[in-house]
Amino acid sequence: MALQKTALFLLAAGIATGAPTSPSRDGITVPLSVPNTAAAPILQPFLGYSIEFFFWPDFAGNLTHPNAFSNNLLDNLGQLQGEKPYIRVGGNTQDLAIFDAGLPTATAGTIDNSTTFKDYPLHVKIGPSFFESYHTFPNTKYSHGFNLAANGTLGEKTTNETVPFACKALANGRLAYWEIGNEPDHFPTVNKTTNYPLRPESWKEKDYVSDWLARSRLIRERMRMDCPDIQEDEIRFLAPSFAEKEKLVLDPVKVWGKERLGRDTDIVLNSMHNYIDGANQPGVTLANTLLNHTKLKSSLSHHLEIRDKIQANTSGKHVPYILGETNSLYQQGAPALSDSFGAALWNVDFSLYLASKGIGRVHMHHGTDYRYNSWQPVQTEKTSIGTKGPYYGNIMTAAMMGGDGLNDVRITELQLGKSKNEEKEVAYAAYVGDQLKRVAVVNMMQYNYTDTPTGEKKVPTGNDTRPTESYSFKLSSGGRPALVQRLMANGSDAITGITFDGWSYNYELAQGRPVRLANVTVGELVWPDRNGFVEVTLPHSSAAIVTPYL
């Protein structure tokens, strides 16, 4: 009866309720109970963010001027996935930061535009007011990154001086984890940031573990002194935060295995980093790099191999594997690629694929003026404040991951059939507890609405109809319909005009709070045919969540 009332209401409101559909030849019967082959449940929350250390005050603000825009965007995601994203404060500038107790500002550092590194300063100081930013987002948990690159007396000094401020700022339930060092596997090489090695070539896995353990034990000792109210079991770490996937400078399997990084049993997340490619690498395009499921799987395969080896028989055997820093293209992304609607579609496929393989959590990396940001937190000379394309992919991911607060959430990848393009068309099922909850479909066949990368609009020719593909699923056995929520834009190269389920999160409308647009169809129902299949038609370069009324 309730379902009939819903359908009648939608019809009365003039909202689409599709007629019974006919199954395509590759219709998929989706298991109503979680398959035995499903990977481990995701961690809650699954979607997190990583904020470049130096730019943390831009994203969060301070006690006098909290960044309400950022908080609104985090609230939206929390309402969908059940908990606000965990925030990792770290990155390259984490290992450049020296504490200055007399600094009158949160940070100090000047970006030198004459160098090849124009996205963050190479000499960084932080002061006591840096830690105010941990108080601006209600109901949010954080990991704070300590400098491991600073060695010897300087390293110990800045850790000793930082811990009291950090642990007090993260008291009362705000602390999730500590992190020591960012991509220390690069330390023995000519560092991409400093242009000189941070450790000698002779610095190997044994030396890294020795340095890490010494620093973690120092942090624990200082916390006992400065923050005695924080319980011992709350002092937890994520590690090793390595960058390399294939050309291993330090081998994470050896670090966890022979050298026993986890011997103190206080590392609760095995954190690694990943980028699918480089912003300035030859051949990187939207169609071939981001809108490409085969490329995505290839970029992640080594992580799965490393994870399996570590969990087979090392000190990291029972430690969940996460991507503690990740995004589309390293070097902070590329304009017209990393900030496009195509990047939003990539975000969805990337996140759901990871979840389907048992990767527990992802932290999408951000920094002020970075091209792959989900949002720009402040107005600068380079970039306007606002919500960016990738955020809408984050929204769909969070909607797919939503649970009931009681049961585990698992994601499985679905095989769409021989008539589909496995490089460009993907689907996933979400299970809450043992029960099928929803299905996501992503079409990555490129459809651009502009002629050139400069954004000039196409001149209509009469032959510009956007192609579509249909997908057929059997989701229930009772003849009930399914609700369709679409991730849409004018094309894969769109930078603006993006919606999920008719909602806009633009800064200009309500500072990131959701606004339902009147010109977008919502409440779309698809009804099963006599064989129980519902059919969903997607325009090229779009995605949807299909939720059955079970």
- Stretch 361-379: mean pLDDT: 98
Chain centroid to Cα 237, Å, comes to 19
Residue 11 lies in a domain: no
Q: Measuring CA to CA, which residue among 486, 470, 481, 500 is closest to residue 548?
A: 481
Residue 152 pLDDT exceeds 90: no
Instruction: For residues 506-515, give the mean pLDDT.
Output: 98
pLDDT tens digits, one per residue of 293-347: 999 999 999 999 999 999 998 888 899 999 999 999 988 999 999 999 999 999 9
| CA distance to 297, 374, 399, 498, 522, per residue, from 518 (Å) | 38, 24, 21, 14, 9
At 197 the pLDDT is 75
pLDDT of residue 20: 45
Residue 56 has pLDDT above 50, yes or no: yes
What integer is the mean pLDDT of 26-49? Answer: 95
Q: What whole-number percentage of the chain has pLDDT above 70?
A: 90
Q: What is the pLDDT of residue 464?
A: 67
Query: Which residue would you say has higher pLDDT here, 333 or 210?
Result: 210
pLDDT range class, residue 414, cuts 50, 70, 90 = very high
Least confident of 170-174, 331-335, 347-351, 354-358: 331-335
Assess if residue 40 is contained within a domain. no
pTM for the predicted model, two decimal places: 0.93
One of 83, 325, 425, 524 is an active-site residue; which one? 325
Q: Decide the pairing of beta strands 425-432 and 435-443.
A: antiparallel
Looking at the structure, tell me whether residues 395 and 448 fall in a common domain.
no
Domain that holds residue 199: 47-407
* pLDDT of 418: 83
The tokens describing 466, both together, are 């956007």
| Mean pLDDT score, 384-396 | 99
Cα–Cα separations (whole angstroms), residue 15 to 6, 233, 548: 11, 52, 18
Is the per-residue pLDDT at 529 higher than 50? Answer: yes
Q: Are residues 399 and 445 located together in one domain of the fold?
A: no
CA distance 106 to 104: 7
375 plus 401 within the same structural domain:
yes
Task: Give me the catalytic one of 52, 179, 183, 205.
Answer: 205
| Same domain flag for 309 and 437 | no
pLDDT band, very low/low/confident/very high, at 110 (cuts 50, 70, 90): confident
Asked if 7 and 523 touch (Cβ cutoff 8 Å), the reply is no
- Asked if residue 516 is part of any domain, the answer here is yes
Share of the chain above pLDDT 90, in %: 79
256 and 232 in a common domain: yes
Q: Which residues contact 519 (CB under 8 A, 6 or more apart)?
A: none
- With 70 as the cut, is the pLDDT of residue 272 above it? yes
423 counts as catalytic: no
Based on the residue annotation, tell me whether 325 is a catalytic residue of this protein.
yes
Output the domain CATH number for residue 511: 2.60.40.1180
When pLDDT is cut at 50, 70 and 90, the band that residue 13 belongs to is very low
Q: Is residue 472 part of a domain?
A: yes
Range of weakest confidence among 210-219, 313-322, 407-416:
313-322
Cβ atoms 222, 164 nearer than 8 A: yes
351 & 493 share domain: no
| Beta bridge mates, 473 | 28, 534
d(CA 544, CA 538): 8
**Same domain for 451 and 396:** no
Same domain, 207 and 302: yes
**Model confidence at 443: pLDDT above 90:** yes
Does residue 464 share a domain with residue 349?
no
